Amino acid sequence: MNLFFVFKDGRLVTPRLTDTILEGVTRNSVLTLAKDEGLTPEERPISIDEWREGAASGEITEVFACGTAAVITPVGELVSENERIKLAAGGNNEIAMRIRTKLLDLQYGRSEDKYGWLTQLV
């Protein structure tokens, strides 16, 4: 799975591809659909400290994960042995759900595939 962080200034930040962050169709689809939503995708490292501070200040408004089986799933909080990181405003998941709906509508043929992602088999 990949994580995405929605910032209140319209950036959508996800870690860049590395030997531990894998490329994927769902990840690439989210990055493309985010642009259609008026977001600015940014691939770069994001630290736990940035997550903690952004969540507390309200700078980060949503966090969601994506992957083949999960499609897009909101992340309510990060829990470790030492702390819980939860969004200050609780997160409304509006952007995550809009992108999820767009992706599923494309997959199920409910919307036009302007990207050429689908292949008709029969």
| Average predicted confidence (pLDDT) for the chain | 92
Query: Considering the domain boundaries, does residue 121 fall inside one?
Result: no
The CA-based diameter of the chain, rounded to the nearest angstrom, is: 53
Return the pLDDT at 67. 87
Instruction: Tell me the residue range of the domain where 45 lies.
Output: 2-107
Q: Is residue 118 part of a domain?
A: no
Q: What is the pLDDT of residues 41-94, one digit of tens each?
A: 999 999 999 999 999 999 999 999 998 888 899 998 889 999 999 887 666 899
* pLDDT, position 110: 95
Q: Provide the percentage of residues in the chain whose pLDDT is more than 90.
A: 73
DSSP state of 29: H
Look at residue 61 and tell me if it is in a domain: yes
- Please check whether residue 56 lies inside any domain of the structure: yes
The confidence score (pLDDT) of residue 91 equals 67
Residue at token pair 């591809």: 17
Q: What are phi and psi of 52, to 5 degrees?
A: -60, -50
- For residue 117, give the nearest of 107, 108, 74, 15 by alpha carbon: 107
Length reported for the chain: 122
Q: What is the pLDDT of residue 60?
A: 95
Q: What is the pTM of this model?
A: 0.91
CATH at residue 52 = 3.20.10.10
Residue 33 scores a pLDDT above 70:
yes
Total count of domains within the chain: 1
Looking at residue 22, its pLDDT comes to: 81
Q: Quick check: is 122 in a domain?
A: no
The verdict on residue 114 lying in a domain is no
Question: What mean pLDDT do residues 24-36 have?
Answer: 95
